[in-house]
Amino acid sequence: MAIINFKAFLEKKRNKTILASLALVTLITILSTLVWVKLKTITVVIDGKPIKVITFSNTVEKALKDKDIAVGQKDKVSPSLNAKIVNKDTVNIKRAVSIKVVVEGKETDVLTAEDTVEAMLKAEGITYNPQDKVTPELNTKLDVNMNVEVVKVETKTFKDSVPVEFKTVMKTDRGLSNTVKKTVQDGENGEKQIVTDVTYENGKEVARKTVSEKVTKNPTDKIVVLGTYPDKPISRGGDPLPYSKSFRARATAYSAIRGIGRTYTASGRLAVRNPDGYSTIAVDPSVIPLGTKVFVEGYGFAIAADTGTNIIGKTIDVFFDTYGESTNWAVKYVNVYVLN
């Protein structure tokens, strides 16, 4: 009877041992399962370089801290630091780089993790207009130590009124002495409106373009009448010319009886009629030496280059190209001025 009890005891003890072992295995299994569920393997990609990270943490921020992976204020992390992570997640970190940004001539050091110039300007709150100049271009990828410049461009339109100067119109009047110069109509300036576009870069003018010009008031011409009747010796500018003496003379006329350009004087000179220069006249050399330059009232400038049997004393004979001109002249008494 005692033996039977001992076997029962052993059987009972063996059963307890089995139960304890089963309990331990179960506990280990449960703990292993919990550890397996808690443990995660994630990939952290920093500026394109992947790193495998094993972590028990539940958030991106804790997982990075556990592995001493620092995140700067301007670094970009995706997903965000407070995002939950699961096994096999990928966390991307883009480190911020330092660049120089010049806006309207003022330089600033900027730390940014944006991809392009455009994204960086937006993130930094730097505004620009479509006409502004951004260098390099907005879609340029950012790189460390890059220089970005924003030049403010502004175009202003100006309207100005400027005078339109009047013209002086010269008219001649044969009925007036060549000593007469008179204004018969005063001139008055007009007015013109000019529209101009002026372009400024960072407040400094760099270009201007005339958009339109419009005359709003026409000018009034000044009209001056000049007498052209050869009365006294004057210059082309209207100033009196000096002369050594003057006298009253009887003036007849002769013409190119052999044809224009074929009539020669007693001195061998070609006889000419030049209202704008010096014409030929016949004189008494004892009164006016040959070669003397004179001014004949009603005829003009002349040179003493011919003589004649009837040209005696204070008598002259003026030359014309045609017979009709000479007969129109006929005989006149005129003033003769001997020029210096």
CATH of domain 97-151: 3.10.20
Give residue for tokens 């001014």.
295
Instruction: Please determine, for residue 46, whether its predicted confidence score (pLDDT) is greater than 90.
Output: yes
Instruction: Please determine, for residue 31, whether its predicted confidence score (pLDDT) is greater than 50.
Output: no
Instruction: Please determine, for residue 5, whether its predicted confidence score (pLDDT) is greater than 70.
Output: no
CATH of domain 241-339: 2.40.40.10
pLDDT at 54: 94
pLDDT at 73: 93
pLDDT at 141: 96
Banded model confidence at residue 32, pLDDT cuts 50, 70, 90: very low
CB 191 within 8 A of CB 217: yes
304-321 exposure pattern, b = at least 16 Cβ within 10 A, e = fewer: bbbbbeebeebbbbbbbb
The domain segmentation of the chain, as residue ranges, is 40-94, 97-151, 159-225, 241-339
Those residues whose C-beta lies under 8 Å from the C-beta of residue 160, and which sit 6 or more positions away, are 193, 194, 196
- Report the percentage of the chain scoring pLDDT > 90: 81
Q: How far apart are CA 38 and CA 19, in angstroms?
A: 28
Instruction: Choose between 280 and 37: higher pLDDT.
Output: 280
Instruction: Please determine, for residue 6, whether its predicted confidence score (pLDDT) is greater than 70.
Output: no
Give residue for tokens 């130590």.
145
Instruction: Please determine, for residue 2, whether its predicted confidence score (pLDDT) is greater than 60.
Output: no
pLDDT digits (tens, 9 = 90+) for 69-81: 999 999 999 999 9
pLDDT at 28: 57
pLDDT digits (tens, 9 = 90+) for 109-158: 999 999 999 999 999 999 999 999 999 999 999 999 899 999 999 999 99
- Residue 181: what residue type? K
pLDDT at 222: 98
Q: Among 10-24, 297-311, 326-340, name the one with the lowest average pLDDT.
A: 10-24
Banded model confidence at residue 3, pLDDT cuts 50, 70, 90: very low
Single pTM value for the model: 0.56
pLDDT at 23: 61
Q: How far apart are CA 61 and CA 137, in angstroms?
A: 35
What is the CATH architecture assignment of 159-225?
Single Sheet (2.20)
Instruction: Please determine, for residue 36, whether its predicted confidence score (pLDDT) is greater than 50.
Output: no
Q: How far apart are CA 234 and CA 241, in angstroms?
A: 5
pLDDT digits (tens, 9 = 90+) for 254-290: 999 888 888 888 888 899 999 989 999 999 999 999 9
Banded model confidence at residue 25, pLDDT cuts 50, 70, 90: low
Q: How far apart are CA 133 and CA 118, in angstroms?
A: 12
pLDDT at 35: 44
Torsion angle defined by CA atoms of residues 51, 54, 58 and 63, in that order, rounded to the nearest 10 degrees = -50
pLDDT at 207: 97
Q: Which of 335, 123, 306, 315 is nearest to 245 (CA)?
A: 335
